Chain A
Amino acid sequence: MPANGKRETWMAFMTYGSLGLEMGVSVAIGIAMGYYLDRYFGTSPILTLIFLIFGLIAGMKRLYTLWKKMEKEDDERGDDTRN
């Protein structure tokens, strides 16, 4: 278990370490999509703002799914130690 635990720590470090960049990038993609849609439809700045909020929610959703995954893994590990 100790060797396995060390590897798990590494994996967790890399998975959660990638979260920050992904949250930032999703906001940027949202703004870019909104900006170009605005240019296409000529509705500046409504779509930019809407897609900015979509991007923010997408980043938050990524955080939420990772949190759920972490909770599930914690539960599984708790079961392992109890048995």
Chain B
Amino acid sequence: MEHEVFTWASLIPGLADLPAHVSNGIMVSIILLIVVFIGYTQLKKSEDQIIPDERVTVRSFLEVVVDGLSGLVESTMGPRGGEFLLIIGTLALFILFNNLSGLVPGFLPATDNVNTTFACSLTVFVMTHYYGVREHGIKYLKHFVGPFWWLAPIMIPIEIIGHLSRPLSLGLRLFGNITGDHLVTAIFFSLVPILVPLPVMLLGVFVAFVQTFVFMLLSMAYFSGAIAHEEH
């Protein structure tokens, strides 16, 4: 899929020379920033309003989004989930908007490039160990030794392989699903442009949400594994 395709990003002067996934990632980030900015100004305007709005406004919509995210994080990770809401919510919104942008004509989803997905999954990987060391101090390294000290020479490589397989599988899963979905949509679109791609696009919406959810769920599992205290 290396042929020239039209993207909206190629119309913007500074972004035209960048690779497609970078420029589309930047555009999605800009859209997210605008949404956040609008929500923030709305929140400022109605800060001391106790009764919620009667109709659906930008503010109430964003409240639903943030409330849903924090509810999901806290129900999965327990009472300490609030600490991780920022990183997980950021990743979730970035990935979701990128996935969904693949369904808009003129956007290439940034998540159908391994560079983007591995950037997200390596962030999770690094932050997992950061949180682990912050929680347990140097004792965090004892996680790698295993139950018995004489098993250490075998357990340490095994644990290292197990930990390295997490970011690789996270990034690979997101990349594979979004690329496959985008490719199937493109093929159907090139065969019959009317009505036929619709079911595939519906599937695309489903895949976009499910993959975001899987990414969130697994990062939460890794974070809570890193901060968990061993109980024997």
Residues of A at the B interface (CB closer than 8 Å) are: 11, 14-15, 17-18, 21-22, 25-26, 28-30, 33, 51, 54-55, 57-59, 61-62
Contact = CB atoms under 8 A, between A and B. Distances in A.
Contact of B157 (A17, A28, A54): A54
Contact of A26 (B76, B154, B165, B210): B165
A48 B76 CA distance: 39
Contact of B217 (A15, A55, A57, A59): A15
Contacts, number: 56
B169 interface: yes
Interface residues of B, number: 20
20 contacts: A14-B213, A15-B217, A18-B173, A21-B172, A22-B165, A25-B165, A25-B172, A26-B162, A26-B165, A29-B165, A33-B161, A51-B157, A51-B161, A54-B158, A57-B158, A58-B158, A58-B159, A58-B162, A58-B165, A61-B162
A22 B169 contact: yes
A18 B161 contact: no
Contact of A29 (B164, B210, B213, B217): B164
- Which 10 pairs between the two chains have the least Cβ-Cβ distance? A26-B165, A58-B161, A58-B162, A25-B165, A25-B169, A22-B169, A21-B169, A54-B157, A58-B158, A25-B168
